[in-house]
Structure 1
Amino acid sequence: MLFLEKVPDLSSFDLQIYKYVSENIDKIIYMRIRDLAEATHTSTASILRFTKKFDCSGFSEFKVKLQLYAAEKALEVVDDVDEMSYIDFLTRAMQPSYKQKIQRAVELLANKELVVFLGSGSSEIMAQYGSLYFSNLFTLALRIEDPSNYPIEFLSQKFSEQICIIALSVSGETQEVTNYLKHLNTSHCKVISITNSENSTIAKLSDLNIPYYINRETIKKDREHPDKTIELTSQLPAVYTIEAIAKAVRNSLVAEKN
C-alpha cells in the first residue's frame, strides 16, 4: 500500500485520507499538513496518526517517502506498435524455409493422441490459446499451468510416444519450461518449440524449433527489482505459427481421408 509492503490497519478516517493521497500524490508533496487536513475534512492530528501508520515520524517524512515512491512508479516510455516488424515477419512466413518448418511440425504431430502446450507469462496465454485452437481443429490438446508439478518422465514409453509437446517462449530461456524439457531426455515425446530465436536453450532441446525473429521489447519491472523485466514483445508471430500448424495438420488429415 503506497510505499509500504504491508497493509496497515486503517480506520474510516484513515481510509478517507488514503483515498485522497493515492489520487493526488503529485499535489501532496507540495502541501502543508493543514492543507491536507482541510482537503480531507479531517484534523492535523488525524493526519499525524495516519502518517505514523505508514512508519513515518511525521508529515515531512511521509512526503519524502511519497515523493520517492512516485518517482519509482513513474511510467517508462515504450515504443509505439511497429507495423513494419509485423509485415517483415509475415513476409518471411511466406518463404519456403518457413513453410518447410510448418510441414515438419505436421509430420511430428501425425497420429499423436495428445498435444501438450507449455508457456509462462504472456506465453502461457498463448499456450492456453493453442490448446483450444488445436482441440477445435484435430486432436485433444492441453495446457500445463505449472510444469514443475507434471513430471512427465514417469509416463510409460507407449503413452509418451503418443504425446507431442509444444513449448512457447519469446526468449527461449524460460526456466520453468527449460527444466520441464530437460526431463524429457529419457522419454519418447516429440518437442516442437516456437521461440524468437533458434539460438536458445529451449530451441536446442526441441526436435523442431520454429523461430520468428521479431524485435524484442522489455521494460524494467520497478526499481526495487532492477534485475527483473516485463516482456512486451508481440505475440503475433506465435499466434500465426500456432494457427498455421493447426490448419496444416487439419488439411493433411482431410487429404488422407479423401
Structure 2
Amino acid sequence: MLFLDQSIELNDTELDIYNYITAHLDTVIYMRIRDLAEATHVSTTTILRFCRRFKCNGFSEFRVKLQLYAEEQKRTRIDMSDETTYIDFLQRTASPEFKGQVARSASVLRDSELVLFAGIGSSGIIAEYGALYFSSLFTLALHIEDPLNHPFYHLSSKLSDKICLVAISVDGENEDIIRYIHELKSQKCKIISITNSAKSTIARLSDANIAYYINKEMYQDANITSQLPALYTIECVAREIRTQLDKEN
C-alpha cells in the first residue's frame, strides 16, 4: 500500500485521501499539507493522522517517502518500444544451431505415443497451448497443470519409454518441474525442455533442449520475460515432426 510493505485498514475518510493520492501521485509530492487538505475536503489535522497511519511523524516525512515511492514506480515502468529482442530471436531461428536443436528435439519426440507438457505460471499457459498444438499435428498430448499432484510412480515399462515430457520454463530452475523431471526420468521417460538458457538445471537434465536466449525482464517481483520465443519454438518442433513423418509416408 503505497510505500508500506503491508496493507492497512482505512476508514472512509482515510480511504478518500488514499484514493486521491494514488490518482494524483505526481502532483501530491509537491503539495503543501494545506493544499492536500483542501483538495480532499478535510482538515490538516486529518491529513496528519493519515500520515501517522503510514508510519510517518508528519506530512514532510510522508511526502519524502511518497516521492521516493513515485521515483521507484517510474523506474519499474515497462518500455514497450524495444522490438529488438523479438527481431534478434527470429533471426537466430534461421541459424544452423537453432535448427539443429529443433531437429534433435523432433527426433526424440517422434517415437513418443504420449506427450506431456508442463510449466508453471505463464509457462503453464504456453504448455497448455503446446498440448493442443501437438495433438493437432502429431499425437496425443496432455497438459499437466499441477505436476506435483500428477505422479507417475506405477507406469508400465511397456508405456514409460513411449512417454516424453516437454518442460517449459524461462529460467529453467523451477523446483516443482525439476522434481517432476527426476520422477519421469526414473521411469525411463524422455525429457525435452524449452528454456531461456542451455545452462539451466532443467536444460541439463533434458535429453534435448532448445534455448532461445532473450533478455530477462522483471517488473517488481514478477518475471515478465516474453513467452513469444517459447510459443514459436513449440510450433517449430511440432511442424518439424509432422514434416519428418510426411516424408516417410
Identity of matched residues, %: 49
Tell me which moved more, 55-64 or 12-21: 55-64
1:181 aligned residue: 181
Residue 229 of structure 2 corresponds to residue 237 of structure 1: yes
Tell me which moved more, 82-91 or 159-168: 82-91
Tell me which moved more, 33-42 or 2-11: 2-11
**Where does the alignment leave 5 or more consecutive residues of structure 2 unmatched?**
none
Question: Hey, what's the Cα distance between the residues in 2 that align with 1:100 and 1:38?
Answer: 67
Shift of 1:56: 2.9
1:86 aligned residue: 89
2:25 aligned residue: 25
Residue 215 of structure 2 corresponds to residue 216 of structure 1: yes
User: How has the CA–CA distance of structure 1 residues 127 and 39 changed in structure 2, closer, same or farther, with 3 Å as cutoff?
Assistant: same
Could you say what secondary structure the match of 1:181 adopts?
helix
The residue identity in structure 2 corresponding to 1:28 is V
Question: Hey, what's the Cα distance between the residues in 2 that align with 1:4 and 1:36?
Answer: 20
2:106 aligned residue: 106
Q: Deviations over 1:140-193 (max 9, x none)?
A: 323333333333345343443332101123333333322322233421211111
User: How has the CA–CA distance of structure 1 residues 100 and 69 changed in structure 2, closer, same or farther, with 3 Å as cutoff?
Assistant: closer
**Where does the alignment leave 5 or more consecutive residues of structure 1 unmatched?**
223-227
RMSD: 2.8
Could you say what secondary structure the match of 1:216 adopts?
coil
Contact map agreement 2:163 2:189 (CA 8 A) in 1: yes
Question: Hey, what's the Cα distance between the residues in 2 that align with 1:203 and 1:72?
Answer: 35
2:241 aligned residue: 249
Contact map agreement 1:153 1:186 (CA 8 A) in 2: no
2:56 aligned residue: 56
Question: Hey, what's the Cα distance between the residues in 2 that align with 1:155 and 1:247?
Answer: 29
Contact map agreement 1:9 1:53 (CA 8 A) in 2: no
Contact map agreement 2:133 2:238 (CA 8 A) in 1: yes
Question: Hey, what's the Cα distance between the residues in 1 that align with 2:43 and 2:158?
Answer: 74
Q: Deviations over 1:181-235 (max 9, x none)?
A: 22334212111112233333222211112233x342334x54xxxxx67352x43
Taking structure 2 as the reference length, the TM-score comes to 0.82
Shift of 1:121: 4.1
Shift of 1:120: 3.1
Question: Hey, what's the Cα distance between the residues in 2 that align with 1:84 and 1:108?
Answer: 29
Could you say what secondary structure the match of 1:60 adopts?
helix
Shift of 1:68: 2.7
Question: Hey, what's the Cα distance between the residues in 2 that align with 1:129 and 1:172?
Answer: 19
Counterparts of 1:21-170 in structure 2, within 5 Å, are: 21-76=21-76, 78=79, 80-82=82-84, 84-92=87-95, 95=96, 98-170=98-170
User: How has the CA–CA distance of structure 1 residues 43 and 152 changed in structure 2, closer, same or farther, with 3 Å as cutoff?
Assistant: same
Contact map agreement 1:192 1:208 (CA 8 A) in 2: yes
Shift of 1:131: 1.6
Question: Hey, what's the Cα distance between the residues in 1 that align with 2:9 and 2:98?
Answer: 58
Shift of 1:21: 0.4
